[in-house]
Structure 1
Amino acid sequence: MSALSPRDRMIVPLDVPTVDDAYAIIDDLGDSVSFYKIGYQLGYAGGFDLARDLIADDKDVFMDLKLLDIDNTIEKGVISIRDMGAKFLTIHAYPKAMRAAVQGRGDTNLNLLGVTVLTSMDDADLAEAGYLISAKDLVAKRAANARAAGMDGIVCSAQEAGAMRAIVGPDMSIVTPGIRPEGTDIGDQKRVMTPSKAIAAGADYLVVGRPILQADNRSDMARRITDDIAKALEK
C-alpha cells in the first residue's frame, strides 16, 4: 500500500440521484479527486454508463453494489463488473457469496471487498436483526471469512481497522467509510473517525462523502482531507 498517494486513498461517493448531479460534483472536484464510488442510488439512474466514462478518463471506480445472491448469480454479476474495468466491488461477507465472487473475478485487476458490518449499525441494531453477537465480533468473524475466501479486502469502520489488520494480514485492503473530519456532522453514522486517525489505525482507503459533497468549496475540502491523510502517512 505504500505506493498509493494520499489522493489515491480518498474515495468520494457519488450519492446523488442523477448523472447530471454526479458530473457537477466531478467538475467541482477537478483533479483533487481520482477515485469515485457509485452505489445503488446512482447505479440505477445511469451510473453504470458513468462508471465506464470515468474509467475511460483514467479515474478509479468503486462499484458499491454489496452483492448477495445465489452463487451463480454472484459469479456472473462479478464477471460483468470485472469486464467494465472497475477497481473495487463490494460483496456482503457471507462465505458462499465471497467464494462465488472470487471465482467470477478470476485472474484480473478487480478488487473484491467483503462488507463486514455497515457503519450505520451498532450492537442494538444487530440484536434487533436477530444476531446474538456484537458488532465488533461479527466484523472480526466476517474479516476472517473474507481472507479464507480469497477476497482482496474488507470494508469496516475505522474504529475496527487496527484489530482487523491483525486478522486479514498486510496484503488485503481495508476500506473505511464513516470518515468525518474534525468539526463535521456525523449524520446517520454511528462508528466514525477522522481521516488522520483512520489512516493511523490501519485503513488503506477512506470513503469521504457528506463532508466533501456538502462543503461550500468541495475541491478545497477534498484537498484538506488529502493533506490530513498525507500528514498521517508521514508519522
Structure 2
Amino acid sequence: MREERPIIALDFPTFEEVKVFLEKFPEEEKLYVKIGMELYYACGAEIVRYVKNLGHSVFLDLKLHDIPNTVKSAMTVLAKLGVDMSNVHAAGGVEMMKAAREGFGPDGILIAVTQLTSTSEEQMQDYQNIQTSLTDSVLHYAKKTAEAGLDGVVCSAHEAAAIHEVTSQDFVCLTPGIRPAGADVGDQKRVMMPRQAREIGSNYIVVGRPITQAANPVAAYQAIKGEWNGQEELPSHH
C-alpha cells in the first residue's frame, strides 16, 4: 500500500497563507496535507475543517505524548474532526499507544514517531541515555508500535526497509525530510529523494519547503509526485 500523493507540509504561520497557497491548486486536485503544531496551535480546529471542506486529506501531526487517558481523550476529539491520519510518540509506551488507538478509532491511520529525523545517534545516547544504535532504537520502537495495534511509524527512508522486515510489509512507513535532487537539506539530519524513498519502501512521503516555497508550487508538486510515482522526468524546456 503506497499513497500516490506526496503529503504537503503546510508549514505556514497563518490561516491566510494556507488559503493563498491552496488556492493556487486547481479545485479538482485533491491534496494530502500535513497540519503541524505551529499551524494548529495558531488556528485550532478551524484550519482542519477548512482543509477538509475543500476535499483534501489531512495528516494532523501533533505527536501526542502524555498519560494514556489524556491521549485517548485528545485522540477522541481529533477523530471527530475527520482527520485521515494522526500520530503519537512511541516513547509514550504501548499502553499509551493502545489508548490512542481506542480514542482515534479504527478508521484513520495512526502512526508513531520513533526518533525525530533531527536526532543524531550521539544526541540520542547523550540526552535520552539510550545506549544502542539509532537504528536499533528505531526498530525497537517500531515493533512496540505494531504490538500496540498502530498502523505504522514516522521514519527516515533509510530505516523503512528494516522496519518492514521486523514488522510487516503492510506496516506504514511515513518519511519526512524528502527533498528533490539538488535541494537544500535545511535542519534535517537524515534526508532522501522521492525516487529513493519509493525504492526503499516508504509508503508515504512528506515534502514541505521544496513545494511551499517554490516559485511555482503546483509545478513543484507535480514534479515531485511524478518522481515519487516512478514516472520518467520529462526534459525541461529552459
SS at match of 2:230: helix
1:140 — aligned with what? 139
1:218 — aligned with what? 217
TM-score, normalising length from structure 1? 0.92
Q: Alpha-carbon deviation of 1:33?
A: 5.6
1:62 — aligned with what? 59
- Contact kept? 1:156, 1:175, Cα under 8 Å: yes
Partner Cα separation in structure 2 for residue 11 and residue 54 of structure 1 = 13
Pick aligned residue for 1:24 from 14, 20, 24: 20
Q: Which has the higher helix share?
A: 1
2:122 — aligned with what? 124
Partner Cα separation in structure 2 for residue 99 and residue 164 of structure 1 = 20
Q: Alpha-carbon deviation of 1:32?
A: 5.2
Partner Cα separation in structure 1 for residue 148 and residue 178 of structure 2 = 27
Greater Cα shift, 17-26 or 177-186? 17-26
Q: Structure 2: give runs of 5+ residues left out of the alignment.
A: 233-238
Pick aligned residue for 2:84 from 63, 68, 87: 87
Greater Cα shift, 214-223 or 21-30? 21-30
Q: What is the root-mean-square deviation of aligned Cα atoms in Å?
A: 1.6
Q: Alpha-carbon deviation of 1:28?
A: 2.4
Q: Alpha-carbon deviation of 1:232?
A: 6.7
SS at match of 1:164: helix
Q: Structure 1: give runs of 5+ residues left out of the alignment.
A: none
Q: Identity across aligned pairs (percent)?
A: 37
Partner Cα separation in structure 1 for residue 173 and residue 95 of structure 2 = 21
Runs of 4 or more above 2 Å deviation: 28-33
SS at match of 1:150: coil
TM-score, normalising length from structure 2? 0.91
Write the mapping of 1:31-70 to structure 2, written as runs, cut at 5 A: 34-70=31-67
C-alpha distance 76-124 of structure 1, shift in aligned 2 (>3 A) = same
- State the AA in 1 paired with 2:7: I
Q: Alpha-carbon deviation of 1:71?
A: 0.9
C-alpha distance 106-230 of structure 1, shift in aligned 2 (>3 A) = closer
Task: Say yes or no: does 1:73 pair with 2:91.
Answer: no
- Contact kept? 2:33, 2:59, Cα under 8 Å: yes
2:186 — aligned with what? 187
- State the AA in 1 paired with 2:164: R
Task: Say yes or no: does 1:13 pair with 2:9.
Answer: yes
Q: Alpha-carbon deviation of 1:170?
A: 2.1
- Contact kept? 2:179, 2:207, Cα under 8 Å: yes
Q: Alpha-carbon deviation of 1:135?
A: 1.4
